[in-house]
Structure formats: structure tokens, C-alpha cells
Amino acid sequence: DYPSDLCVHALFEAQVRRAPDAVALVFEEQSISYGALNADANRLAHHLIGLGVRPDQPVAICVERSPAMVVGLLAILKAGGAYVPLDPAYPSERLRQLLDDAGPRLLLCDAAGRAALGAEAIADLSAVDLDAATAWADQSADDPDPHALGLTARNLAYVIYTSGSTGTPKGVMVEHASVLNVLRALLDVSGLTERDSFLAITTISFDIAGLELYLPLAVGANVVVAHGASAIGLQRYLSHQKITVMQATPAAWRMLFDAGWEGAPDLSALCGGEALPSELASNLGRRVKSLRNLYGPTETTIWATTFLTDTRIEAPHRYVPIGRPIANTRIYLLDGHGQPVPFGAVGELYIGGAGVARGYLNRPDLTAERFLADPFSGKAGARMYRSGDLARYLPDGNLEFLGRNDDQVKIRGFRIEP
């Protein structure tokens, strides 16, 4: 069971009321309390509401990694908007392509974001410069009232684009309720508490970044925002900031080892975004407190399955299993006719439940092709997502990922489609 009527930022606001002076955010030498972060986000949120932000309205954000990035994301959510994250490190042409597709009227940016997008791309937008926070300093520091805004958990939290640097990008529309479910599910399995320190290393253009920001803020833990994700930089954070949780792709964990990292006995490691090789898991698992493998497409909200790697596996496999579905999530392995395959046989992974996204922005044809009625759930209106991933059940009931049924590949967790 999960609070399906709450918005993502409501969990953060509850922690603000509980412990306003606790540290919420650490960035380089700067520490920001829950109360201060909330007040900053609220002032900007009221400013955005005044600029006409309404529920389900896309609001682009293109900023460097900094406290302003987190303030901007929270402010968009609090104002009722759906954020469209753009990484200023991406090629300008791709950023403009995403802007054209999402069609936001409003853009939150900083100097890096302006430079990445170029003057022409933002000429038709209302740009809110996060470097100029004094412009809304006189706004209320109180939480905006979601009821007054007409904001519910069924409204969009974000639109995130998938499919790497080629192919036509697809904007996945994800509702607050879906994010709430994955946060609650991961809190249950991870045991995260207010004593934890979570290192956030992932670009906000990748949906798993949401877990790194909102999961710790939902329990009163602190988020250490990494400025970059170089091996040397990550080693410095891990050794100097008393980090207890870090999420990364297998490629990032391997990069750390290649740079001479020896592990951290108090670190809970989360791994996902691409298949986890058994030899890497064995190496990593020996050097950390715990290692959890996670699987899930953007279309079913961050993660859909989880596997704790110290679980005994009867026979060695080339890759670590992806485990079992998280709470309120259903996994079906189906054949080409949409029928369940026998236990142990290979089938295509279909995912149903609370995490299923609303669909693709401006792509009703593709939405109808990939988001289907769920005939197995028994719930009226239930839908499932056709992932294109192949898997089978192992004898112990855990799922083994077996690759794609098309030409899509993943590089450092990002989907590249031909």
C-alpha cells in the first residue's frame, strides 16, 4: 500500500516540518537545511505560479549541477508543472530538438543552460534565470496549496526523453503517483533513514536521478550533489563526505575500480541502467556493505524490479538476475501472441502496475503501440508497458534479463535506438 494521493514534494515537505534544521543538501563546501531549501523552492514556485504555470504544463530546466538545480526541480513540482530536464552538457542540436517537441513556454536556466541552448532557441520562451534569485526574493516562503492549484497525484511530475543520441527522442510522461510508488517501494527495501548520506551523481536527464534526489529527501537524509562524475571526483566524495548510499550504472562502478578505488565498507551500492556482469558484481559486492541490482525502463518510472546480490544463486550466470517486482508492480513474460510463456521459458517483459507512465508526449501512435490494456490485472483501466526486453524466470523465481528483441543498445545506461 502507498499514499497514491500525494505529490512527490509532499514527502519532502513532511520532513521540513519534522526537522527543518537538518541538512538536506550538500554541494562542495555548502550545506543547506531542509527549511532553507524548502523556503527557496517555495519562493520560486510562487514566482512560477505568477508566470502562469499550471498542472500538467511542461517547464524546461537547463542548469548546471548545483543547489539551484534542486531548488528549480522542487519549485516546478510545487507550482504544479511537469519538469522537462535538459542537460547543458548535451549537444545544442539535441537540446533544441527536445525543446521543439516538448513545447514549454517557460525555461529555468543558468549561464551554462543559456550557452548550451543558444539565444535563438530561447528567444520565444520566458526564461527564468536561476542565477538571479533576488527577482523572487519577496515571494512567500510558504508551501503552495496543491488544492488551490488543482494539483493531484494524477498530474505529471516530469517528461523525460529516452533514446540516446540517435532515433527520434520520445518524451515519457510520468505522474506523481507513479514516482510516489517507486519511492515508497525503494524505502521499504533499502532501509534508508535520516542518518544516511546519498551521493547524487546522475544527470537529471536520466530518470534514475529522481531516486537520488527525492528518496533521501523523503526520509530526512541528506543529498550530496556531485558536481561531476569523474572517477577521481567520485573517489573524493566517497572518502570525504561519509557517503552511505550511491546509485550508478555498471560502467560507472567499473570506472571507479579502474581508477584504483578500493571500496567502502559502509556503502550501500545500487546498480542499474544496464545489465550487471556477475564478475563486476562479485568484485563490487566484496567491497561494499550491500549491492542491489535494479531494472526498469523510463516508461515504468525509474525501477520496476530489484535483486539483492548476496542472495544465493543456484547456478552461476553471466549477468546478475534483475530479481522480483517492487511493490504494486506486475511483471508478465509473454509470447508473440500476448500469452504467458511457461515458467522458465524466454518471453518478452511486459510491466503493469502503479509505475506505468501516462504515455509518450505528442506520440499517440507510439503510445498505443507500447502502452496496452492489461488483461491480467482484473482492474478496470489497468495498463501495461511492452518493454521489448527479453527475460525468463530462474528456478528460484527471480528474473534473468536476456537482452533486447530489437537493435536497441544501452551505453552507460542510456538507450540508443537505430
Transcribe 5-31 into DSSP letters: TS-HHHHHHHHHHH-TTSEEEEETTEE
> Cα separation of 413 and 204, whole Å?
13
The residue assigned the cell 518510472 is 301
Instruction: Specify which residues 159 forms β-bridges with.
Output: 173
Query: What's the one-letter identity of residue 255?
Result: M
Residue 2 has pLDDT above 70, yes or no: no
What the block records as the C-alpha cell of 236 is 573524493
> Cα separation of 159 and 143, whole Å?
23
Q: How far is CA 10 from the centre of its chain?
A: 17
pLDDT of residue 266: 95
Into which CATH architecture does domain 8-153 fall? 3-Layer(aba) Sandwich (3.40)
Q: Decide if 339 contacts 379 (C-beta within 8 A).
A: no
Q: How far is CA 375 from CA 10, 205, 249, 336, 380, in A?
A: 33, 33, 33, 15, 9
What's the mean pLDDT in 109-122? 94
Composition of the chain by helix, strand, coil, percent to 5 = 30, 30, 40
Q: How confident is the model at residue 235 (pLDDT cuts 50, 70, 90)?
A: very high
Return left, alpha or beta for 400; rule: phi > 0 is left, psi -120 to 50 is alpha, else beta. Answer: beta
Quick one: DSSP state of residue 143? Answer: P
The residue assigned the cell 513532511 is 14
* CATH class of the structural domain 197-416: alpha beta
Q: Decide if 163 contacts 417 (C-beta within 8 A).
A: yes
Interhelix angle 176-190/8-18, rounded to 10 degrees, is: 50
Q: How far is CA 281 from CA 224, 292, 319, in A?
A: 24, 9, 9
Q: pLDDT digit string (tens) for 357-379?
A: 999 999 999 999 999 999 999 89
Q: How confident is the model at residue 312 (pLDDT cuts 50, 70, 90)?
A: low
Residue 224 has pLDDT above 90, yes or no: yes
If one counts every other C-beta atom within 10 angstroms of the C-beta of residue 50, the result is 11
Q: How confident is the model at residue 165 (pLDDT cuts 50, 70, 90)?
A: very low
If one counts every other C-beta atom within 10 angstroms of the C-beta of residue 150, the result is 11
Q: Decide if 194 contacts 22 (C-beta within 8 A).
A: yes
The residue assigned the cell 567520485 is 234
What's the mean pLDDT in 88-108? 94
What's the mean pLDDT in 285-297? 95
Residue 14 has pLDDT above 80, yes or no: yes
What's the chain's average pLDDT? 93
Domain ranges of the chain: 8-153, 197-416
Query: What's the one-letter identity of residue 220?
Result: G
> Cα separation of 96 and 100, whole Å?
6
HSE (CB half, 13 Å, CA atoms) of 416? Answer: 8
Q: How far is CA 205 from CA 162, 168, 208, 351, in A?
A: 9, 16, 9, 22
pLDDT of residue 417: 54
What the block records as the C-alpha cell of 75 is 519549485
Backbone φ and ψ for 99, nearest 5 degrees, come out as: -60, -45
> Cα separation of 257 and 261, whole Å?
5
**Which of 99, 102, 106 shows the shortest CA–CA distance to 121?**
99
**Which of 42, 51, 49 shows the shortest CA–CA distance to 126?**
51
Query: What's the one-letter identity of residue 357?
Result: A
